[in-house]
Amino acid sequence: MAKHTVTLIPGDGIGPEITTAMRRVVEATGVDIEWEIADAGEHVMAEYGTPLPDHVIESVRKNKVAIKGPVTTPVGTGFRSVNVALRKALDLYVNMRPAFSIPGTGARYENIDMVIVRENTEDLYAGVEFEQGKPETAELIKFVADHGAGTIRPDSGISLKPISIMGSERIVRYAFEYALANGRKKVTAVHKANILKYSDGLYLDVARKVAAEYEGRVDFEDRIVDMTCMGLVLYPEDFDVLVLPNLYGDIISDLAAGLIGGLGMAPGANIGADCAVFEPVHGSAPKYTGKDMANPTAEILTAVLMLQHLGEHDAAERILAAVKTVLAEGTDVTYDIKRTNTGSTEGAVGTQAYADAIIAKL
């Protein structure tokens, strides 16, 4: 029996290509993993009637660890995000996205080293929505007016932004515990509490209470989300661990990915009390599907996070060192890295050739 069994969800778009590259790199370290392949996304709809079949969720529940490629979500119509559904089903309340500079990526900044801790289950992403023109939407609009809470135009669609004490407490506590366990100095809670008094205001109140428990051990500050965006661009070295409600976390983690050279570089993890699902920040980049062009670095660094979680620190460090060497050399790199480094994609290698270059350096 393998030492670890991990659910592997290849996803769609560039997902199958980059997860293949990731798997080859992980296997080349000799780490003992059995992959349980579980497919999710539009391509399984015909067979199972859903993009996220129960057996996929059950596989993650059983193995407790999964790694996935991105899954496409149709815009506006069609099914809701498989990624959001998986996070909800398994109560993966933490979305952890480290952003650290690796020389050779052509990033505009050097020495970036921060961790984004995004709340993953509530806020505007809770999926509580009322469609324009539906009777229940009209009822809600009337309820709001009857309670003197405001006037909503009758032709509106509505998405609710629930933020709870429990949800805020556990995410802020995770950020502080993460900071303590990883030698981080400061936690910044990000919000828009000046405008959204009952949702972000609650979040900030809870964050302050939790922060008081860590006084003297981890520094705390809070910042408004718009000022945070400016601060990240002007003085990214001011940030260490950021903890954010779901929507701001989504946006700011892409901003942080930009600081380190783009989405092709940014790994991530969804963590709950029982299970962890590792996935890169980026999406399925449909236009690159099947072209052997996509950069698998984010997926490979995501595997590094997974290996650390599994206690396979040696394999994790070897992969990280090999990725750094290949990027520093700058020859066998994918189109996006070539483009940021030279302004042209000429001389770029494909997804699998880049993985081969990493394997050669292990």
* Residues of the shown chain interacting with ligand NAP in the complex, contacts defined by CB under 6 A: 14, 18, 70-73, 83, 263-264, 279, 282-286, 294-295, 298, 336
State the minimum distance, in angstroms, from the CB of residue 281 to ligand NAP.
7
List the catalytic residue out of 12, 68, 93, 125: 125
Q: Quick one: 98 or 264, whose CB is closer to ligand NAP?
A: 264
Annotate 265-280 with b (16+ C-beta within 10 A) or e (fewer).
bbbbbbbbeebbbbbb
User: CA 77 → CA 41, 74, 326, distances in Å?
Assistant: 15, 6, 41
Q: Quick one: 22 or 294, whose CB is closer to ligand NAP?
A: 294
Contact 232, 240 (CB under 8 A): no
Structure tokens at 213: 């428990």
Q: Quick one: 71 or 244, whose CB is closer to ligand NAP?
A: 71
List the catalytic residue out of 123, 250, 332, 336: 250
3-state SS class at 198: coil
Contact 200, 167 (CB under 8 A): no
The secondary element (H helix, E strand) that includes residue 195 is: none
Structure tokens at 59: 């596989």
State the minimum distance, in angstroms, from the CB of residue 52 to ligand NAP.
12
Q: Reply yes or no on whether 192 is catalytic.
A: yes
Dihedrals phi, psi of 40, to nearest 5 degrees:
-140, 155
List the catalytic residue out of 64, 68, 88, 192: 192
Annotate 10-35 with b (16+ C-beta within 10 A) or e (fewer).
bbbbbbbbbbbbbbbbbebbebebeb
Residue number of the CB closest to ligand NAP reads 283
Q: What is the 3-state secondary structure (H, E, C) of 9-20?
A: ECCCCCHHHHHH
Q: Quick one: 206 or 277, whose CB is closer to ligand NAP?
A: 277
Q: Reply yes or no on whether 235 is catalytic.
A: no
State the minimum distance, in angstroms, from the CB of residue 83 to ligand NAP.
4
Residue type, 113: D
State the minimum distance, in angstroms, from the CB of residue 17 to ligand NAP.
9
Q: Reply yes or no on whether 125 is catalytic.
A: yes
Q: Quick one: 210 or 298, whose CB is closer to ligand NAP?
A: 298
State the minimum distance, in angstroms, from the CB of residue 285 to ligand NAP.
4
> What is the set of active-site residues?
125, 192, 226, 250
